[in-house]
Structure 1
Amino acid sequence: VAPISRGLVGEKATLLNVNGDAAAGEIAKALTARKLIFLTDVDGIYDRSGKRLPKLSIAEAKRILASGIASGGMIPKIEACLKALATVSLARIIDGTKPHALLKEMANGEGGTS
């Protein structure tokens, strides 16, 4: 999702820098998509010890946000996943820098955090 959008600031038309993660989550929710997949440069969400968490419940994801374990660009990804899960059956965060990451995820749900 391109993070540039047109909008109004006051009465003046301008370009806005929209958070692409938030936009993707809202689009997936509105479309009632089957799956929302975020490609990033890490292999999912990690706990404080550095262990990847392959699956999280909604409550666990909220705790990770509240506790400060998630930081930087992972925060809007998790928030977008939580919003999208109102209508989307599966949200995933995977490492898009790995070869064929999206194909592997689509084929067998490999890697990342659901």
Structure 2
Amino acid sequence: MKYVVKLGGASLEDKALLHSCGKAIAELVGDGNQVAVVHGGGVQLTKTLAQMGKVSQFISGLRVTDAETRDAALMVLAGRVNKSLVAALGQHGCAAVGLSGGDGHVFRARKKITTPDLGFVGEIAATDPRWLDAIWTMGAVPVISSIALGFDGEYYNINADEMASACAVATKADALVFLTDVPGVKGADGEVMRWLKLPEIPGLEAASVITGGMLPKLHACRDALTHGVKRVRILPAESAQLLPDLISTRVNEGTEVMVA
């Protein structure tokens, strides 16, 4: 089977969590699955920007990205964060190849048109998964940072959830899993929703039950499910050890997002 696993937040910052996530992904690969990892690195980027004297600003869960912020994102996401993930997988005997979405033109971007303007924030305009297929053919795991190259020659910061969804669609993945800092999607009662149907999302959004970074995540879930991805799950990174069992057994952690 093909899996796309998205990592972000504390799972990239906490060494123990990163170790656990790396082990779970390595087990998936050891079971004969093809796995691609897509990652963000917003926490690390925010810290680096603060060290540079820049204050991070977000609108609807998306980072406002001027040229200096974009260049920092290239350095942090495609550099330190990407290579730390490659190393974490390597610790468990799993060969990994780190790349940004711009490498090999795997993902091409266009500027995201918003009001107000977000700067160098992009959305996926085209995909070419041949390099990912080549890495899988060699028995390795592609580890992709959420940076893509625009047709105008500029690099764009891409929301990692959107990148993961685009990757799952492009590779015809069987499952897309978001390993997150939160236990799942919470309903109006504050409890984690074990199942969430796509038609329920607009109402939860209108009632401000779903806000902030969960908005682009659920939009990414919707895009994946409506373009052929069979299973989409939001799973707390602390439960990463359950990753190899998601398809074969009943897992009562996180939120399963379904078409209907």
Q: RMSD over aligned Cα, in angstroms?
A: 1.9
Q: Which residue of 1 aligns with 2:255?
A: 113
- Establish whether residue 100 from structure 1 lines up as the match of residue 217 from structure 2: no
Native 8 Å contact 2:165 2:176 kept in 1: yes
Match of 1:89 in 2: 230
Measured at CA, do residues 28 and 100 of structure 1 come closer, stay the same or move farther in structure 2, by a change above 3 Å? same
Secondary structure of 1:5's aligned partner: strand
Deviates more, 1:37-46 or 1:63-72: 63-72
Tell me, in whole angstroms, the C-alpha distance in 2 between the residues paired with 1:62 and 1:88. Answer: 20
Q: Secondary structure at the match of 1:39?
A: strand
Q: What is the distance in 1 between the residues matched to 2:240 and 2:223?
A: 29
Q: In 2, are the aligned partners of 1:95 and 1:101 still within 8 Å (CA)?
A: no
Aligned mates of 2:197, 2:217 — CA distance in 1: 15
Give structure 2 stretches of 5+ with no counterpart.
1-37, 39-144
Aligned position for 2:6:
none
Q: Distance in 1 between matches of 2:183 and 2:203?
A: 19
Equivalent residue number for residue 30 of structure 1: 170
5+ residue gaps, structure 1: none
Q: What is the CA deviation profile of residues 69-100 of structure 1, one whole-angstrom value per residue up to 9, with x for unaligned ones?
A: 11121111100001111111211111013351
For normalisation by structure 1, the TM-score amounts to: 0.83
For residues 237 and 224 of structure 2, the distance between their equivalents in structure 1, rounded to whole angstroms, comes to 20
Task: Number of aligned residue pairs: give it.
Answer: 111
Cα shift at 1:39: 0.8
Q: Does residue 54 of structure 1 match 2:197?
A: no
TM-score by length of structure 2 reads 0.39
Q: Structure 2: how far apart are the matches of 1:77 and 1:7?
A: 22
Structure 1 counterpart SS, 2:162: helix
Please say which structure displays the higher CA radius of gyration: 2
Which of the two has greater helix per residue?
2
1:105 CA displacement = 3.1
Closer, same or farther in 2 for the Cα pair 1:99/1:27, shift >3 Å?
A: closer
Question: Is the aligned partner of 1:75 residue 2:215?
Answer: yes
- How far the C-alpha of 1:103 sits from its partner, in A, is 3.2
Q: What's the offset of the Cα at 1:66? A: 2.9
Of stretches 85-94 and 24-33 in structure 1, the one that deviates more from structure 2 is 24-33
Bigger relative contact order, structure 1 or 2, given CA contacts below 8 A and separation 6+? 1
Structure 1 position 5 matched with structure 2 position 145: no
Cα distance in 2, alignment partners of residues 99 and 79 from structure 1: 22
Task: Report the alpha carbon displacement of residue 48 of structure 1 after superposing the two structures with TM.
Answer: 2.0
Offset, 1:104? 4.5
TM superposition shift of 1:102: 2.2
8 Å Cα contact 2:165/2:224 also seen in 1? yes
